[in-house]
Structure 1
Amino acid sequence: MSKDIRIKKGLDIKLVGEAKQVTTKLPMGSVFAIKPSDFHGVIPKILAKEGTEVKAGEALFHAKSDERILFPSPVSGKVTEIVRGARRKVLEIKITSNGTQEHKDFGKVDVASMTGEQVKNHLFASGCWPFVKQRPYDVIANPNQAPKAIFVSAYASAPLAANYDYVLQGKEAELQAAVTALTKLTEGKVHVSVGSSKSPLASVRDVELHKVSGPHPVGNVSTQIAQIDPINKGEVVWVVTPQDLVVIGELLLTGKLNLTRTIALTGSKFTTPQYITALAGAQVSGLVKENLQNDNTRVISGNVLSGTQVGEDGFLGYYDNQLTAIPEGDDYELFGWNKPVFDKVSTSRALTFSWLNPKKKYDLDTNTNGEHRAFVVTGSYEEVFPLDIYPMQLLKACMYKDLDEMEGLGAYEVAPEDFALTEFICVSKQPHQKIIREGLDLLKQELG
């Protein structure tokens, strides 16, 4: 029996620049890059050196900790540059496309007749294992530890997020194949959460379906896990996003790894916010060409709360299906703290009036409207944090590195994105997501 999820705590940040449901197919582009930093905690071991010719789906590097976990090229072409930083850390592996898109053939399979070990080995060989992430720690899943359940969130509640009901249209066969494969990987249930019955994932078989409603972060998978099957110490759950399910499903049905995604171009700085098709790792300049108002603009790979800043010469994140462009907030507002505010979102009613018109859309910039300072106890974090956790206490435990306290306060249940809203409303301007990421890394390092 499904369990519907409805939360009241949270905050919907309504912004100008929602993508129109029109998809433009762009030229493939010439330069692509895979960034090891997209795969948190992975130390890359290079397989394709500069000058190597690769096909789409061929491995560029593997994880140093487990050579079975491969990271493939999105295109066929030549590895033209391996960009390194301090201490020879690999920052980017650039591939120049040959324009023909030749795929490595991994072979069609009958997923219904496969065992869990066969499915796992197929995902390893094809480079699809990085799509499977785990809680705790929010990292690529450890294949040696079986999950008690697998979760798929097909409802995105973040500001201007891509509409999954739209981008997944026509992908029912791929989604079903991928879900069938996931059921082989766990003795528990595969939980799928949707926002409406119109979702293509609402009709898949062999899953426990949940309908979610409420403000952001109801679409975050941590919120859904906490409501459906909370994580206890020693337990693991796996998480896969719907767009990655499509890639896995197409691999199973065709034998080819196709990393093409439907990307939402969102934000007030796009002339025409819309959907486009693009490969993972595509160069941003080719995706925003003749559509970006490039006058003091910040381009973000992902959403405004948890995305990564990229320039036009940067590259689309491996897991991202959204590019956001908003004004750069590098101006100073005279007496901004001492006058009524009508053009910003705030959970406080002190000289702010966004609560009077909850449906109004705002054109916000990147200005933090204040400077970094010590934590101020206001009780506001709990208003937008739906998990049964004390957010400020967990943040402080991460800062002073008390492992026992972090465990007791629920660090195993969270990911950095779950603290994006508390960071947004924080009057102390503390980097909540960075603090949680460092805390989770410490837990993993010390406790495994």
Structure 2
Amino acid sequence: MGSNIKINKGVDVKLQGRLESDEIDQLSSSTYALLPSNFHGVTPKMEVKAGDEVLAGTPLFHDKFQEQVKFCAPVSGEVVEVVRGEKRKILEVKILADKELRFKDFGASDPSNMDGEAVKNHLLASGAWPFVMQRPYDVIANPSHDPKAIFISTFSSAPLAPDLDFQIKAELEHFKVALTAMAKLTKGKVHVSVRGGSDSSYLSGISGIEVHEVYGSHPAGNVGTQIHKIDPINKGEFVWTVDVPGLLTIGRLFKTGHFDTSRLVATTGAAMSKRSYFKAYAGIELSKALEGRFDAKSGARLIGGNVLTGATTSHDSFLGFYDYQLTAIPEVEDREFFGWIAPGLNKFSMSNTFFGWMTPNKEYNLNTSLNGEERAFVMSGQYEKVFPMDIYPVQLLKAILVEDIELMENLGIYEVAPEDFALCEVVCTSKINSQAIVRSGLDLMIQEMS
């Protein structure tokens, strides 16, 4: 058994629109798509063209700079279109799906009887490797690197996050097989973090893992927070991470030999009319997936992921490769007249500016308004209240803005990812887009270190 970890800084942003039932709808669509924009830092090189027939698991494209990292079709059918943008940038690879899904057979195998290289090659060949992410830089893991450890968070503490335990226990055997496979990929430990006080008995008997109980408010569920508390990253070191839906896909691969990207997706948020789960393959048409759940004419903002770290998407787009939550919240363009002088009983506040602080358990119907414009980036001490790492967040952001590589290294750039700064954006009176700044800093480090 590992350690008990207490996160003393952070805050749970309680929002209206949580899941109302565990009902699961089985959904499909006629067209699916894989979006290269889901894979940060990847330059896609096509392996198919319009008119080609593919199986689920057939490579559609690979990374120009890491040819062994392949991105495979989530369903079988015909490639009907490769959508390109400016300078022929690949935006979407669309597949007209077969009525009966056909899988490419990669062969079922037992990872406990395989060495690390064999496990790695199995993941690379099947298209499951993109689920393995790397710190530093928060990008798809480089297969040539040797990670000092692998980290897995079995819960999410983000607003309106679905219950990952529910998904794990529904496919427990696949989850255990995937953990066994992960243990083969590192000479170090596989750290598995569970929510403090929850039942983690299902993890007993799995060799090669160390279980940690994590207590506290968000971002307790962020894998970056857990890495910092368990085994921080130093310069020249690498750790890998895999989320729960990715592990379940990997587990199915080893048990069945199929690249099966089916996942439970939670529809949440105050602007979502039906808040429950649906099961579908990655890349499903959102217009089909959200029928009876979301009104595209309502003017609400649709987000792939949670409200803190998700990306704005649209009703006519497709389910992202890493998305297992869709959130809809009210879209507001007009600023509130004299909003700063109102008592703010329905406004979330960390600084006691509004009287909402008097009802800490209240669920808020927050919208997209920033409640102000970008201002001077001043030292206020607000970031430190919600940032649980032993890092100076404001100083790091300013070092990134001036592109001071040495200072960025000294201030901990190797330990952070954009999601670690999401709460900083929530409490920031200066309205600074911290996550975008961190992403630009990480990209600069990749460029400088390559």
TM-score where L is the length of structure 1: 0.98
| Equivalent position of 1:348 in the other structure | 351
Alignment equivalent of 1:364, drawn from 363, 366, 379: 366
| Equivalent position of 2:398 in the other structure | 396
| Equivalent position of 2:206 in the other structure | 205
CA distance in 2, matches of 1:144, 1:201: 32
| Equivalent position of 1:302 in the other structure | 305
| Equivalent position of 2:253 in the other structure | 251
1:151 matched to 2:164: no
| Equivalent position of 1:267 in the other structure | 269
CA distance in 1, matches of 2:60, 2:201: 33
SS of residue matched to 1:435 = helix
Give unpaired runs (5+ residues) of structure 2.
Answer: none
Q: Which amino acid aligns with 1:54?
A: V
Cα 1:272–1:199 shift into 2, 3 Å: farther
1:317 matched to 2:340: no
Aligned-pair CA distance for 1:169: 2.0
Aligned-pair CA distance for 1:200: 7.5
CA distance in 2, matches of 1:290, 1:376: 45
Cα 1:156–1:216 shift into 2, 3 Å: same
| Equivalent position of 2:15 in the other structure | 15
Aligned-pair CA distance for 1:338: 2.0
| Equivalent position of 2:441 in the other structure | 439
CA distance in 1, matches of 2:425, 2:374: 12
SS of residue matched to 2:61 = strand
SS of residue matched to 1:177 = helix
CA distance in 2, matches of 1:432, 1:57: 37
1:88 matched to 2:91: no
Aligned-pair CA distance for 1:118: 0.5
Aligned-pair CA distance for 1:80: 1.1
Q: Which amino acid aligns with 2:179?
A: V
Aligned-pair CA distance for 1:51: 1.1
Matches of residues 16-415 of structure 1 in structure 2 within 5 Å? Answer: 16-195=16-195, 196-199=197-200, 202-203=203-204, 205-206=206-207, 207-294=209-296, 295-350=298-353, 352-415=354-417
Deviations 1:49-104 (A, max 9, x none): 11111111111000111111010111111111111111111111111112211000
CA distance in 1, matches of 2:200, 2:93: 36
Aligned-pair CA distance for 1:201: 5.5
Segments ≥4 residues shifted beyond 6 Å: none
CA distance in 2, matches of 1:131, 1:201: 23
RMSD over aligned CA atoms reads 1.2
Aligned-pair CA distance for 1:261: 0.5
SS of residue matched to 1:70 = strand
Aligned-pair CA distance for 1:279: 1.1
SS of residue matched to 1:168 = helix
SS of residue matched to 2:312 = strand
SS of residue matched to 2:301 = strand
Give unpaired runs (5+ residues) of structure 1.
Answer: none
CA distance in 2, matches of 1:201, 1:375: 47
CA distance in 1, matches of 2:224, 2:236: 17
Contact 2:263–2:282 (8 Å) recurs in 1: yes
Q: Which amino acid aligns with 1:377?
A: M
Q: Which amino acid aligns with 2:333?
A: D
Q: Which amino acid aligns with 1:117?
A: E
Q: Which amino acid aligns with 2:351?
A: S
Q: Which amino acid aligns with 2:51?
A: G
CA distance in 2, matches of 1:20, 1:180: 34
SS of residue matched to 1:383 = helix
Q: Which amino acid aligns with 1:285?
A: S
Aligned-pair CA distance for 1:23: 2.9
CA distance in 2, matches of 1:6, 1:186: 27
SS of residue matched to 1:93 = strand
Percent identity of paired positions between Structure 1 and Structure 2 = 51
Contact 2:27–2:278 (8 Å) recurs in 1: no
CA distance in 2, matches of 1:314, 1:92: 10
CA distance in 2, matches of 1:176, 1:284: 31
Contact 2:74–2:283 (8 Å) recurs in 1: yes
CA distance in 1, matches of 2:168, 2:180: 17
Cα 1:136–1:42 shift into 2, 3 Å: same
SS of residue matched to 1:314 = coil
SS of residue matched to 1:334 = coil
Q: Which amino acid aligns with 1:72?
A: C
Cα 1:376–1:238 shift into 2, 3 Å: same
| Equivalent position of 2:420 in the other structure | 418
Cα 1:204–1:216 shift into 2, 3 Å: farther
Aligned-pair CA distance for 1:353: 2.0
Contact 1:171–1:200 (8 Å) recurs in 2: no
Contact 1:165–1:198 (8 Å) recurs in 2: no
